[in-house]
């Protein structure tokens, strides 16, 4: 298989490193200076320090306008930009007959569209065979070859098969799923919930409170997913419960770290700056809540996160607000 990964942040680099053991892989990035540094050091010191790039991994930079030609020479393209870059990438690849998957997790915050990846694709690249690669997967662990399970989600068998053929191996298991909306809702909402559990843990509220947030958060995620046409069982799988547990409890999570830092009294700007990486939950919390409101779906935890991020609720008050809600049935 010939794979091209578009975007050399932590996750794009880790996926390229993982696949390069068995396939011909090109890692494309938009910044020529950064590409030179990767080639000189054989390491992505900015986004994935400490991981050697395999000798066979090709690194290329270049104009985005050249991407259709580059991608056309491969069997699979993986778009590894944040959500903010997905629309432009899909637009560039709209007429390329190569299965394409994105790995970003969120609802589009830009221009207030509030769309998931597959909805953006329907607008800008309806003929492209597209899908998402998701699931509980910290980049560093994948790059180190630690065991990880992913989900290849697409209505197109060609995309699911290409993802499984490329990434499934001794340390990565890739499960196919045709419920793309469900997989995308899970990946987006868990980031918002991880900010809440980071806050909860940072305030020292205890393990009972964290378990309550995760479980009630899963209920919120599922309600929104069902309203968007997803299947309920998807939320009990890797891209739902699996990724929620990982991100809400694992200290490698950037979203969880935002919550921890806010609990320490840092401002949102300070927290985001200190990460050096994207934390999608910060950008999409508001769009999650707005989209849910339009659908009549109640999301109290996500709503509290939005008010926290907006500076309307101090950390302790956000938790008090959630715990002080009126008694209700668990359903
Ligand atoms: N890291 C992880 O463990 C995982 C991340 N993800 C998801 O993958 C996506 C990327 O995350 P990650 O690699 O960690 O992010 P990083 O912050 O590590 O890197 C971001 C990368 O995207 C590029 N970029 C930033 N903005 C744009 C844009 N508007 N258009 C095109 N490229 C852009 C950056 O390039 P430049 O340096 O030129 O700005 C950089 O290469 C996110 O949606 C994340 O939620 C999913 C699973 C695991
Ligand atoms: O999506 C991820 C793990 O599956 C990474 O989460 P963070 O973006 O919070 O680090």
- 3-state secondary structure at position 71: helix
pTM of the model: 0.97
- Ligand 1 atom nearest to 88, measured from its CA: 30
- Average of per-residue pLDDT across 205-220: 95
Predicted pLDDT of residue 216: 95
Residue ranges of the annotated binding site are 7-12, 30, 47, 105, 135, 137, 139, 190, 243, 253-255, 278, 280
Query: Which of 11, 13, 150 for a ligand 1 pocket mutation test, highest count of atoms within 8 Å of Cβ?
Result: 11
DSSP structural state of residue 136: S
321: pLDDT confidence band, cut at 50, 70 and 90? confident
pLDDT at residue 324 greater than cutoff 80: no
Q: Which ligand is nearest to the CA of 191?
A: 2
Please state, for a pLDDT cut of 70, what percent of the chain lies above it: 98
How far is it, in rounded angstroms, from Cα 259 to Cα 203? 9
Distance between CA atoms of residues 272 and 67, nearest Å: 30
Mean pLDDT on 137-164? 98
* Torsion of the alpha carbons at 261, 264, 267 and 270, rounded to the nearest 10: -50
For the Cβ of 107 lying below 6 angstroms from any atom of ligand 2, the answer is: no
Q: What is the pLDDT of residue 320?
A: 76
Mean pLDDT over the full length of the chain: 96
Q: How many whole angstroms separate alpha carbon 129 and alpha carbon 58?
A: 25
Is residue 137 scored above 80 in pLDDT? yes
- Res 219: pLDDT: 97
Query: Is-contact 5 37, C-beta < 8 A?
Result: no
Dump pLDDT digits (tens) for 42-97: 999 999 999 999 999 999 998 888 999 999 999 999 999 999 999 999 999 999 99
- Which residue do the tokens 């000189």 mark? 40
**Ligand 2: centre distance to CA 254 (Å):** 6
How far is Cα 305 from Cα 292, in angstroms, rounded to an integer?
A: 14
Cα 205 off chain centre by: 27
User: What is the share, in percent, of the chain residues with pLDDT greater than 90?
Assistant: 92
User: What confidence tens digit (pLDDT) does each residue in 231-251 have?
Assistant: 999 999 999 999 999 999 999
Cβ density class 97-109: b for 16+ within 10 Å, e for less: ebbbbbbbbbbbb
Work out the pLDDT band at 270, boundaries 50, 70, 90. Answer: very high
Give 204's DSSP letter: T
Does position 102 have pLDDT exceeding 90, yes or no? Answer: yes
Over the stretch 282-301, which tens digit does the pLDDT of each residue have? 999 999 999 999 999 999 99
User: Is residue 159 a contact partner of residue 101, using CB atoms and an 8 Å limit?
Assistant: yes
For residue 149, count other CB atoms closer than 10 A to its CB: 15
**Which residue from 265, 272, 260, 274 is spatially nearest to 314, judged by alpha carbons?**
265
| Structure-derived torsion over alpha carbons of residues 297, 86, 186, 268, reported in degrees to the nearest 10 | -80
CA–CA separation, 62 and 37 (whole Å): 15
In whole angstroms, what is the distance from residue 153 CA to residue 174 CA? 10
Note if 2 is an active site residue.
no
The mean-pLDDT minimum among 42-56, 107-121, 211-225 falls in: 107-121
Cβ of 192 less than 6 Å from ligand 1: no
């Amino acid at each position: 298989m010939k794979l091209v990964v578009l975007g050399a942040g932590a996750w794009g680099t880790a996926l390229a490193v993982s696949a390069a053991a068995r396939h011909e892989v090109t890692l494309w990035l938009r910044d020529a200076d950064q590409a030179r540094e990767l080639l000189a050091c054989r390491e992505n010191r900015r986004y994935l320090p400490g991981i050697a790039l395999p000798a066979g991994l090709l690194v290329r930079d270049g104009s985005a306008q050249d991407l259709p030609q580059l991608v056309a020479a491969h069997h699979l393209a993986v778009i590894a930009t944040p959500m903010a870059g997905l629309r432009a990438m899909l637009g560039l690849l709209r007429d390329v007959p190569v299965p394409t998957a994105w790995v970003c997790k969120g609802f589009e915050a830009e221009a207030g569209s509030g769309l998931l990846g597959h909805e953006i694709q329907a607008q800008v690249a309806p003929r492209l065979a597209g899908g998402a690669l998701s699931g509980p997967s910290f980049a560093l662990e994948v790059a180190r070859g630690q065991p990880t399970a992913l989900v290849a989600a697409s209505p197109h068998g060609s995309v699911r098969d290409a993802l499984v053929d490329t990434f499934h191996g001794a340390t990565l298991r890739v499960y196919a799923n045709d419920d793309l909306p469900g997989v995308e809702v899970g990946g987006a909402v868990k980031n918002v919930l991880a900010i809440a559990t980071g806050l909860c843990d940072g305030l020292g509220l205890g393990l009972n409170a964290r378990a309550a947030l995760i479980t009630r958060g899963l209920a919120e995620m599922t309600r929104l997913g069902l309203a968007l046409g997803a299947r309920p069982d998807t939320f009990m799988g890797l891209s739902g419960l699996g990724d929620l547990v990982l991100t809400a409890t694992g200290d490698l999570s950037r979203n969880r770290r935002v919550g921890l830092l806010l609990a320490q009294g840092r401002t949102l700007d300070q927290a985001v700056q200190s990460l050096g990486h994207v934390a999608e939950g910060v950008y999409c919390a508001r769009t999650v809540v707005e989209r849910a409101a339009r659908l009549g779906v109640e999301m109290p935890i996500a709503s509290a996160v939005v008010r926290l991020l907006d500076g309307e609720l101090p950390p302790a008050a956000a938790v008090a607000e959630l715990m002080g809600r009126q008694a209700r049935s668990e359903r």
